[in-house]
């Protein structure tokens, strides 16, 4: 391989890592809900895309700057997150894991179909910031819009970590995820923590959806299934319940995706990601940051 | 009339898919790999009848064995993990199978036609039924004979000691293990049985659609596979059949008159069904009520 190919390869990895920040956000959302409720919310990625769509709807009337669109997406994500809790979790007995799994599948299909119904299935353009800025670093070029996506995602992660480890709400959330019964005895309302977790992960998801739209330049209902799969992959590789793990796994998956795409073409790209994941689960089922195994 | 026969074919094949997931769900494992085994069955059976000119029944047998062997091989590593990890591992496997067929090309020249799977274009011309003069009715009867046999088999399995062992593992692994049940063996067996059933279903699917391609075997199909038994309830194989009729017959075909709104209702009704009947449409309580309807006198004596 000559030098030019090497430069291209490194360039595509850099793009992938920057885009991987959105995977990391999705992974965090899956991980948080799983940590608190020990349930999978399969409708999460669809809800994120839905929030991004909703933000377009909100600002459709006025000619709003891109940053306002992103804020609208975050707000819409929070609302959708709360609704998902209400419809898919509130009235279903938690002792039955299959029922909530199925109800979130139903919600995934429902959100997808609402999107298709309102937009007639046509992909919509999504605004981006700094899309005309290109920062040359040596022989490489870093795209301004991807850099912004990366920076905003990182800021979002920092805020989330502060929220979890520096506030009373975060303390309550972590308490519920460790010992639901004991935390209820300490006067923490589990329902309240659950609702807030869904709203917070919804906000994160809304931002992730908006960032995906900004990085790709458009939104399509076809995005939600691949994003669901990628988000789950990131969650598992990073280790369930581990936020730093999800962040690193998101960036790694984003980078690797582009490595495989560069060397083997787009049609085989995901095949290798899937095989890698399968091998990963067999040899290191607890994720990269697995806790030492103990009795539960 | 042909429309209803076609619908019956679809319901039959999807019942097989649902039953394959039912076996795995009995042990408490959520496997989204069933679509992968279904795809393997479809491609193997299709290639045997089209490329090797085999008759259908032996081809289905081979596809069942291949899919079952694959399920067994995947089961050993995959069933070491539980819950969400297993869901993701099986999604990964299913997607890997789908993407394998996306990149898989093996064609032979036959006359002026090229036969065999062709990557993204899929596998066309699986013309066993029309070439051998089967009518839609014949195909429908054949499918339902297979469905009835498989269903009777799973029913019998469910009622036998093996079924009790499967359910014991599904209810409480630790308790099952302490009574001396080899959990890994039970789970891998359930996975293998599921693989065999999915292989047969896939083989039939390939022949009645006559054209298969990788997109048909994606995550959506895998989700449908587990949706049938969960929605129908795990107390009984009839629940799966009921759920398939509910989804394929009512939600997909019956609501066609609603046009675009049908798809919206589809997801919504699944959510509603899970809220109203979290243990499935045909749960243990409903079965008991049905039994009372059928044999009221015996029940009164018992009570």
Domain ranges of chain A: 3-283
pLDDT in tens, A221-278: 888 888 888 888 888 888 777 888 888 889 988 888 888 888 877 777 778 878 877 7
Please tell me the class of the A3-283 domain: mainly alpha
More confident position, A31 or B259: A31
- Subunit contact A274:B93, Cβ cutoff 8 A: yes
* Predicted local confidence at residue A237, as pLDDT: 83
Q: B118 pairs with which residues across the strands?
A: B105, B122
**Which among A225, A235, A267 has CB closest to B219?**
A225
* Predicted local confidence at residue B11, as pLDDT: 92
Asked whether residue B40 carries a pLDDT value surpassing 90, the answer given is: yes
Q: What predicted TM-score, i.e. pTM, was given to this entire model? A: 0.82
**Which among B25, B89, B274 has CB closest to A106?**
B274
**Which among A40, A109, A268 has CB closest to B84?**
A40
Asked whether residue B122 carries a pLDDT value surpassing 90, the answer given is: no
Residue B107 Cα, gap to closest chain A Cα (Å): 19
Residue B77 Cα, gap to closest chain A Cα (Å): 6
Tell me, letter by letter, the H, E, C secondary structure of chain A.
Answer: CCHHHHHHHHHHHHHHHHHHHHHHHHHHHHHHHHHHHCCCCCCHHHHHHHHHHHHHHHCCCCCCCHHHHHHHHHHHHHHHHHHHHHHHCCCCCCCCHHHHHHHHHHHHHHHHHHHHHHHCCCCEECCCCCCCCEEEECCEEEEHHHHHHHHHHHHHHHHHHHHHHHCHHHHHHHHHHHCHHHHHHCCCCHHHHHHHHHHHHHHHHHHHHHHHHHHHCEECHHHHHHHHHHHHHHHHHHCCCCHHHHHHHHHHHHHHHHHHHHHHCHHHHHHHHHHHHHHHHHHCCCCCCCCCCCCC
Residue A36 Cα, gap to closest chain B Cα (Å): 14
Q: What is the domain range of residue B196?
A: 2-233
* Predicted local confidence at residue A51, as pLDDT: 92
Exposed, middle or buried: residue B250 (CB in 10 Å: 0-12, 13-18, 19+)? Answer: exposed
Answer yes or no: is B38 within a domain: yes
* Predicted local confidence at residue B303, as pLDDT: 43
Q: What is the mean pLDDT of chain A?
A: 83
The rounded percent of chain B whose pLDDT value lies above 90 is 28
Residue B73 Cα, gap to closest chain A Cα (Å): 13
* Predicted local confidence at residue A293, as pLDDT: 47
With contacts defined as CB-CB under 8 Å, which chain B residues touch A34?
84
Answer yes or no: is B158 within a domain: yes
**Which among A111, A267, A277 has CB closest to B103?**
A267
Query: What domain count does chain B have?
Result: 1
Interface residue of B92, B234, B252, B281 to substitute, partner A, most A CBs within 10 Å: B92
Answer yes or no: is B85 within a domain: yes
With contacts defined as CB-CB under 8 Å, which chain A residues touch B21?
none
* Predicted local confidence at residue A287, as pLDDT: 66
Q: pLDDT grade, residue B193 (50/70/90)? A: very high
More confident position, B152 or A218: B152
- Subunit contact A278:B270, Cβ cutoff 8 A: no
Going by the DSSP 8-state scheme, the letter that residue B215 receives in this structure is G
- Subunit contact A278:B223, Cβ cutoff 8 A: no
Asked whether residue A292 carries a pLDDT value surpassing 60, the answer given is: no
Residue A282 Cα, gap to closest chain B Cα (Å): 6
**Which among A103, A117, A282 has CB closest to B274?**
A103
pLDDT in tens, A48-101: 999 999 988 877 767 677 788 888 899 999 999 999 999 888 888 777 777 888
pLDDT in tens, B61-103: 999 999 999 999 888 877 777 777 788 788 888 888 988 888 8
Q: pLDDT grade, residue A296 (50/70/90)? A: very low
Asked whether residue B223 carries a pLDDT value surpassing 70, the answer given is: yes
Per-residue pLDDT, averaged over A142-159, amounts to 84
Q: pLDDT grade, residue A1 (50/70/90)? A: low
Interface residue of B274, B281, B283 to substitute, partner A, most A CBs within 10 Å: B274
Q: In chain B, which residue's Cα lies nearest the Cα of A113? A: B264
């Amino acid at each position: 391989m000559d030098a030019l190919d090497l430069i291209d390869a490194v360039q595509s990895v850099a793009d992938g890592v920057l885009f991987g920040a959105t995977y990391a956000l999705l992974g965090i959302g899956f991980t948080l809900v799983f940590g608190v409720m020990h349930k999978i919310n399969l409708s999460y990625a669809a809800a994120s895309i839905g929030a991004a769509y909703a933000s377009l709807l909100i600002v459709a009337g006025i000619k709003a700057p891109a940053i306002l669109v992103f804020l609208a997406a975050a707000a819409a994500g929070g609302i959708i997150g709360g609704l998902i809790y209400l419809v898919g979790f509130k009235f279903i007995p938690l002792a039955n894991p299959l029922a909530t799994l199925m109800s979130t599948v139903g919600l995934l299909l429902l959100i997808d179909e609402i999107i298709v119904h309102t937009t007639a299935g046509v992909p919509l353009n999504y605004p981006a910031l700094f899309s005309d800025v290109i920062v040359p670093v040596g022989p490489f070029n870093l795209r301004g819009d991807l850099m912004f996506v990366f920076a905003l995602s990182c800021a979002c992660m920092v805020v989330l970590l502060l929220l979890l480890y520096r506030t009373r709400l975060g303390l309550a959330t972590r308490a519920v995820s460790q010992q639901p019964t004991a935390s209820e005895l300490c006067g923490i309302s589990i329902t309240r923590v659950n609702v807030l977790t869904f709203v917070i992960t919804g906000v994160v998801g809304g931002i992730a959806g908006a960032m995906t739209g900004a990085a790709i330049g458009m939104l399509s209902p076809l995005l939600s299934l691949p994003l669901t799969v990628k988000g789950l992959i990131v969650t598992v590789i990073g280790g369930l319940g581990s936020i730093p793990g999800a962040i690193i796994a998101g960036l790694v998956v984003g980078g690797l995706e582009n490595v495989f795409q560069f060397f083997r073409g787009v049609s085989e790209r995901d095949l290798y990601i899937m095989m890698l994941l399968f091998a990963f689960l067999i040899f290191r089922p607890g994720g990269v940051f697995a806790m030492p195994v103990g009795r539960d | 009339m042909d429309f209803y026969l076609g619908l019956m074919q679809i319901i039959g094949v999807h019942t097989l898919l649902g039953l394959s997931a039912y076996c795995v769900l009995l042990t408490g494992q959520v496997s989204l790999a069933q679509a992968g085994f279904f795809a393997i069955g479809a491609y193997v059976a299709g290639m045997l009848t089209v490329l090797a000119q085999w008759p259908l029944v032996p081809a289905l047998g081979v596809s069942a064995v291949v899919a079952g062997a694959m399920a067994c091989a995947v089961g050993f590593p995959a069933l070491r993990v539980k819950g969400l990890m297993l869901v993701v591992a099986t999604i990964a496997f299913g997607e890997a199978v789908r993407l394998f067929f996306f990149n898989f090309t093996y064609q032979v020249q036959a006359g002026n036609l090229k036969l065999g799977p062709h990557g993204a274009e899929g596998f066309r011309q699986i013309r066993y039924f029309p070439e051998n003069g089967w009518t839609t009715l014949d195909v429908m009867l054949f499918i339902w004979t297979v469905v009835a046999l498989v269903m009777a088999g799973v029913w019998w399995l469910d009622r036998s000691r093996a079924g009790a062992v499967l359910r014991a593992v599904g209810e409480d692994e630790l308790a099952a293990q302490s009574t001396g049940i080899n959990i890994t063996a039970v789970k891998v067996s359930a996975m293998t049985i599921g693989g065999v059933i999915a292989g047969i279903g896939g083989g039939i699917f390939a022949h009645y659609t006559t054209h298969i391609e990788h997109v048909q075997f994606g995550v959506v199909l895998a989700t449908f596979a587990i949706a049938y038994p969960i929605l129908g309830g795990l107390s009984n194989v009839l629940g799966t059949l009921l759920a398939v009729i509910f989804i394929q017959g009512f939600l997909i075909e019956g609501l066609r008159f609603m046009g675009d709104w049908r798809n919206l209702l589809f997801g919504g009704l699944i959510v509603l069904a899970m809220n109203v009947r979290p243990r499935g449409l045909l749960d243990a309580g409903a079965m008991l009520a049905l039994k009372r309807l059928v044999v009221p006198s015996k029940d009164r004596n018992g009570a």
